[in-house]
Structure 1
């Protein structure tokens, strides 16, 4: 059984990798701490040219670029979900 303090992970799969997604769902079926999802992001989310008043996502942006690179190169990425 998984507790609130246990680490959780997302295994993110490119939508172009349907067979990898299906395999991962089966492979991680007995691992409740790992959720397999398709990457649904489409481009950059910011729509304005003005920066926000305070940059809150600097570290998040670095992690996102690493995840993007892994998904492009390997078709998937494993990401640890930080608890709030």
Structure 2
């Protein structure tokens, strides 16, 4: 399940969804699930960072889908295409 696009990264243009996670931190998530993700989004749209057994189980079963915190940089598709420069 892809998250609804709410904004776009100002550096790379990637679509983002913003969610609150532990400690009331508002963080940007990549909208598509990732096999390397660590954040599960509950039905109330709150993000939960998974670790240990819960993370391993979710990755094995694929439920719930996991998302990654957005980090613009060399791994960001838009930066790779543009060569990492901004006009």
User: TM-score, with normalisation over the residues of structure 2?
Assistant: 0.25
Higher relative contact order (CA 8 A, sep 6+): 1
Q: Which has the larger radius of gyration?
A: 1
**Larger strand percent:** 2
User: TM-score, with normalisation over the residues of structure 1?
Assistant: 0.26
